[in-house]
A and B are shown apart, each in its own frame.
Chain A
Amino acid sequence: MIGRLLRLCRWLWRIAIAGVLLWLRRGKEPLPERELPASPRAEKGVAALLVGAGIAGAAFVLIYGFDEANTQLLGVAAATALGLLAIALIVAAQAIVPQETLSEERPRFADPAAERGAEVDEIAMRAREGIDGITRRRLLGAAGGAAALGLGAAAAAPLASLGPRVGDRLRESPWRDGTPLVEENGRPVLADDLTVGGFLTAFAAGSDKRDLASSLVVVRVRPEELELPPERADWAPEGLLAFSKICTHAQCAISLFRYPLYPERSPGPALVCPCHYSTFDVLEGGKRIFGPAVRPLPQLPLKIEAGRLLAAGELSGAVGASWGGVEEGS
């Protein structure tokens, strides 16, 4: 079994490597030698290749000069010039200049066993001589350490200017009781905008749309399907549910909504993040059902006033990725 596998590997290896080996002329054993292979034919060939490279370079300039400088043509011209130059240089290296194999002795490095050992002893002795006659080495060492610590801290401290203090910044959210939901263009979101199985992106009115906590996905399901926990019983009027659009795993936007076309056979409605495929159950209020996310998707309680969708409270948890200290179940 191993033998057959070996034979197979051998053949694959041979085919893969043969080209490289041929190109690099692996046949000859390197031994100190020098030969002068220069031949008028090879020289003429290299000269022709170099002239060709020059012409291709000039062609690049010409193409560049045209109004519609074409990326493909520019690339081909540059690649041709460089490719011809490469062939010229490699042919010159193999067939024009003297071919030499040299053997050179290596410099020796310190090796306890080798002759450099004595040299190392001497250097170490010189280094030690520099601290001859100092009586309070420990005290000086400790004092130096104190200086390094203080100065190091002083040098590193300004890094804190990079950003604001964390505080509650990672928990900030524009959602309060009564905040209206608006679309990307600022139009209020109406309850009738969504049919069952529908999906839209909404923002907190008056907030920065780039604010991580602002964006929501709003979906509509049939109210009788809902399996929300009892304390969220009134969060989804008419089967409308709103969740933070930012995945609690790695903060990508939840841009996939799965709504079963034939509920008897398909899994239930869910929101999916396209980055690492964390999947959140819509009917149970954003509970994670698949993928690497751990915290549920924060849900926003909704209410309908005069046909418009408003927040009926704050988001149920922190928006975005978890950080050390965030509350797990929220």
Chain B
Amino acid sequence: MIRRAVSAVDQRTGAGSILGKALRYVFPDHWTFLFGEIALYAFVILVGTGIYLTLFFEPSTSQVVYHGSYAPLRGQEVSKAYQSALDLSFNVRAGLLIRQVHHWAALTFVAAIVVHLMRIFFTGAFRKPRDLNYYIGLTMLMLAVLEGYAGYSLLDDLLSGMGLAIGNAVALSIPFVGGQIGTLIWGGRFPGTDAFMSRLFIAHVLLLPVAIGSLIAVHLAMVATPHHTQFRGRGRRETNIVGTPLWPAYALRSLGLFAAVAAVLFALGGLVQINPIWQWGPYEPYLGTNGAQPDWYLGWLIGALRLMPHFDLTVGSYTVVPNPFWGGVVFPLLVFGFLFAWPAIERRWSGDRAQHNLLDRPRDNPRRTAVGAALFTWVATIFFAGSADRAFVQLGVPYEGQLWAYRVASFLLPIAAYFLTRRVCERLREEESHPGRGSGARAVARNQEGGFEELRPGSAAGVADGERG
């Protein structure tokens, strides 16, 4: 029966040989390769749950009086978008489950991409011939952040409106053309016209997902063409790949991972409340709430907006570069620009222009690992600065003091991270021990005075002993 199916496909498409190759496609066995797969599967779940949500959601800012099943809001003027989001949460069976799974999947999607990016960075997987694919991956990360922001902005609840107000301010802050760009996208001054809502909607449900989906297809094709990277090990060379073939063990394992990701997301969506928009209430430009926090992947930007001292670039009495530009545009551009530039910087620094299919362990290239650690420390420090107001409310640490501490830390911690990481990597490399598997045993020898001294590889006694033992 299997033979008949294969033959039927081959007769009609001539794809038999490709299929045969695909079944034997070899995947390396290492747990760090799972993060990219988790991101992929989160995306699949996002598309599935997202399609279900579009069947009920109405992207419109026209105002209606709420008469739905959430009693505390009855009689309030709300937008149709907000009303339909409430209705699909309360009146559509399984609607709330799907909405919460969608939100959790979005958080997971971006998180998995970031961890995957760290894996790629610290193991040098971005080197030729994979640098193009690394750029595609970075582009997808930016699109994923934008897609998530567009998604939670659609609901027109108080938090999403505050997020859009900040987004509009960041758009306005672009020098020279900011006013035009903001007015263009929003169809006027903030909060904009009804047209803005439909633009945001089509961006969230069509433009951005199609862009991400197409880039995923290219990304995977460009992973498969040169085959996966692999760590050094017995029998593993630059020119081969050792691991588990797709069929059957890897396919089952990967589908198992898909089911596991889905299971966790459904458990979260069912049991852990996320973004209860009925508690925030509808958005009006004149309403605000204290303690507003965005989804986690925007934390680094709110941190940057808060940390930035009050400074505009002015000419005479006119503002040329308003303040939100520094934290909202320059900071993310610096981070992404550096990540995009890194393969070229490293090529120049090391003079290494060869193709690499074998991965470095992080310690194998102390300088790269230290630079990566410094960059991620920088972003993480600013990310945590975004939660300073919560730390003030929960722990009573004065906000102003925290702000100054974070400002200093955002300069000092990356430098400290650089030198510490570099030293640790060099030490590990010298000792040739693994942080996870390094043996705690030490070889000692009795010396002529009757005491003991440690044998180090390379020391005269060590060589002699090594030969003896």
Residues of A participating in the B interface, judged by any CB pair closer than 8 Å: 2-3, 5-6, 9-10, 13-14, 17, 20-21, 24, 29-32, 64, 69, 71-76, 78-83, 85-90, 92-94, 97-109, 111, 159-160, 162-166, 169-170, 172, 201, 203, 209-212, 214-215, 245-246, 249-256, 273-278, 288, 290-295, 320-330
Are A105 and B239 also in contact (CB < 8 A) when A31-B234, A251-B165, A292-B309 are? yes
Partner of B94, one of A5, A64, A87: A64
List the A side residues contacting B253 at CB < 8 Å.
89-90, 93-94
Q: Are B319 and A294 in contact (CB under 8 A)?
A: yes
Q: Considering the complex, give the chain A residue whose CB is closest to the CB of B306.
A: A276
List the B side residues contacting A325 at CB < 8 Å.
179, 318-320
List the B side residues contacting A203 at CB < 8 Å.
286
Q: Are A100 and B318 in contact (CB under 8 A)?
A: no
Q: Considering the complex, give the chain A residue whose CB is closest to the CB of B424.
A: A6
List the A side residues contacting B314 at CB < 8 Å.
328
Judge if B8 is at the interface, Cβ distance under 8 Å.
Answer: no
Q: List 24 A-B contacts (CB under 8 A).
A: A5-B424, A21-B436, A71-B100, A74-B270, A75-B101, A76-B270, A89-B256, A90-B256, A102-B242, A104-B227, A104-B240, A104-B241, A106-B357, A107-B225, A111-B355, A212-B285, A249-B323, A250-B166, A253-B286, A277-B389, A292-B324, A323-B178, A325-B179, A325-B318
List the B side residues contacting A164 at CB < 8 Å.
183, 187-188
Q: Considering the complex, give the chain A residue whose CB is closest to the CB of B162.
A: A252
Judge if B288 is at the interface, Cβ distance under 8 Å.
Answer: yes
List the A side residues contacting B26 at CB < 8 Å.
102-104
How many angstroms from the CA of A325 to the CA of B189 in the assembled complex? 16
Are A328 and B317 also in contact (CB < 8 A) when A86-B260, A93-B253, A210-B284 are? yes
Interface range on chain B (Cβ under 8 Å from partner)? 35 or more
Partner of A93, one of B226, B250, B287, B436: B250
Judge if B263 is at the interface, Cβ distance under 8 Å.
Answer: yes
For the complex of A and B, list the 4 residue pairs with the smallest distance between their C-beta atoms, beginning with the closest: A75-B270, A89-B256, A321-B169, A322-B322
How many angstroms from the CA of A31 to the CA of B241 in the assembled complex? 11
List the A side residues contacting B189 at CB < 8 Å.
169-170, 172, 212, 320
Judge if B310 is at the interface, Cβ distance under 8 Å.
Answer: yes
Q: Considering the complex, give the chain A residue whose CB is closest to the CB of B89.
A: A71
How many angstroms from the CA of A254 to the CA of B162 in the assembled complex? 11
The residue among A105, A170, A201 with the most chain B CB atoms within 10 A of its own CB is A170
Q: Are B242 and A328 in contact (CB under 8 A)?
A: no
Of B140-148, B289-297, B333-341, the stretch lying at the interface with chain A is B289-297
- Min CB–CB distance A89 → chain B (angstroms): 3
- Min CB–CB distance A259 → chain B (angstroms): 16
List the A side residues contacting B243 at CB < 8 Å.
30, 101-102
Partner of B226, one of A92, A102, A107: A107
Partner of B305, one of A17, A94, A276, A324: A276
Are A322 and B288 also in contact (CB < 8 A) when A69-B93, A109-B226, A170-B183 are? no
List the B side residues contacting A276 at CB < 8 Å.
302, 305-306
- A6-B424, A97-B249 known; 4 new pairs, CB 8 Å cut-off, are A31-B235, A292-B323, A321-B168, A328-B312
Q: Are A245 and B255 in contact (CB under 8 A)?
A: no
Q: Considering the complex, give the chain B residue whose CB is closest to the CB of A99.
A: B249
Residues of B participating in the A interface, judged by any CB pair closer than 8 Å: 24-26, 29, 31, 93-94, 96-97, 100-101, 129, 162, 165-166, 168-170, 172-180, 182-191, 195, 199, 225-227, 233-235, 239-245, 248-253, 255-260, 262-264, 266-271, 284-292, 302, 305-306, 308-312, 314, 317-324, 327, 354-355, 357, 389, 399-400, 423-424, 427-428, 435-436, 438
How many angstroms from the CA of A32 to the CA of B235 in the assembled complex? 9
Are A69 and B94 also in contact (CB < 8 A) when A322-B322, A324-B319, A324-B321 are? yes
Q: Considering the complex, give the chain A residue whose CB is closest to the CB of B253.
A: A93
Q: Are B319 and A322 in contact (CB under 8 A)?
A: yes
Are A160 and B270 also in contact (CB < 8 A) when A109-B226, A212-B189 are? no
List the B side residues contacting A253 at CB < 8 Å.
162, 285-288
Q: Considering the complex, give the chain A residue whose CB is closest to the CB of B25.
A: A104
Partner of A9, one of B226, B260, B435: B435
List the B side residues contacting A246 at CB < 8 Å.
285-286
Q: Are A24 and B31 in contact (CB under 8 A)?
A: yes
List the B side residues contacting A93 at CB < 8 Å.
248-253, 256
- Min CB–CB distance A106 → chain B (angstroms): 5
List the B side residues contacting A166 at CB < 8 Å.
179-180, 183
List the B side residues contacting A169 at CB < 8 Å.
183, 188-189
Q: Considering the complex, give the chain B residue whose CB is closest to the CB of A91.
A: B256
How many angstroms from the CA of A48 to the CA of B327 in the assembled complex? 55
- Min CB–CB distance B442 → chain A (angstroms): 12
Are A103 and B240 also in contact (CB < 8 A) when A212-B191, A328-B318 are? yes
Q: Considering the complex, give the chain A residue whose CB is closest to the CB of B182.
A: A323
List the B side residues contacting A254 at CB < 8 Å.
288
- Min CB–CB distance A291 → chain B (angstroms): 7
Q: Are B427 and A2 in contact (CB under 8 A)?
A: yes
Q: Are A323 and B172 in contact (CB under 8 A)?
A: yes
Q: Considering the complex, give the chain A residue whose CB is closest to the CB of B186.
A: A163
How many angstroms from the CA of A73 to the CA of B314 in the assembled complex? 58
How many angstroms from the CA of A64 to the CA of B92 in the assembled complex? 11
Are A6 and B310 also in contact (CB < 8 A) when A79-B270, A252-B165, A294-B319 are? no
- Min CB–CB distance B26 → chain A (angstroms): 5
- Min CB–CB distance A43 → chain B (angstroms): 13
- Min CB–CB distance B453 → chain A (angstroms): 17
Q: Are B271 and A293 in contact (CB under 8 A)?
A: no
Are A101 and B241 also in contact (CB < 8 A) when A90-B253, A164-B187, A323-B322 are? no
How many angstroms from the CA of A170 to the CA of B181 in the assembled complex? 12
- Min CB–CB distance A71 → chain B (angstroms): 5
List the B side residues contacting A165 at CB < 8 Å.
183
- Min CB–CB distance B281 → chain A (angstroms): 13
Q: Are B97 and A109 in contact (CB under 8 A)?
A: no
How many angstroms from the CA of A274 to the CA of B159 in the assembled complex? 12
- Min CB–CB distance B354 → chain A (angstroms): 8
The residue among A81, A172, A294 with the most chain B CB atoms within 10 A of its own CB is A294
List the B side residues contacting A278 at CB < 8 Å.
310
The residue among B172, B176, B241, B291 with the most chain A CB atoms within 10 A of its own CB is B172
How many angstroms from the CA of A210 to the CA of B174 in the assembled complex? 24
How many angstroms from the CA of A202 to the CA of B75 in the assembled complex? 21
- Min CB–CB distance A298 → chain B (angstroms): 14
Q: Considering the complex, give the chain B residue whose CB is closest to the CB of A73.
A: B270
